[in-house]
Amino acid sequence: MNSLLVYLFLSLFLFCIGMFGLLQRRSLIAMLISVELMLNAASLNFMAFNRFLAPDPAVGQIVVLFIMGIAAAEAAIALSIILALFRKIHSINIEQARELKG
């Protein structure tokens, strides 16, 4: 039951949900959650390959730890940008943020 293919399909499903959410949502918070879901799918992919194919089990786990660190830093920076944007235009809608361009 637990084969590499099952984990790869689950990872693909999570990544597709994240990509769909990133392309469809207008809220910056929802877009941030979608990016986090895509990073989790990549982590699951690394752990699946680590479990079934890697001779050294520490390699995949270290990569996943780096992904978790990058995800935490990305969330902190993105939330600070969203907060600054909300203070400026009183909305987190991406359409209103595009108006700041010109």
66-78: pLDDT as tens digits? 999 999 999 999 8
Kindly state the DSSP code that residue 93 receives in the 8-state scheme: B
- Can you list the domains of the chain with their CATH numbers? 4-98 (1.10.287.3510)
Nearest CA to 45 out of 11, 6, 70 is that of 11
What token pair was written down for 10? 């689950």
* pLDDT value, residue 102: 57
pLDDT at 100 over 80: no
5-34: pLDDT as tens digits? 999 999 999 999 999 999 998 888 888 899
Do 45 and 13 touch, CB atoms closer than 8 A? no
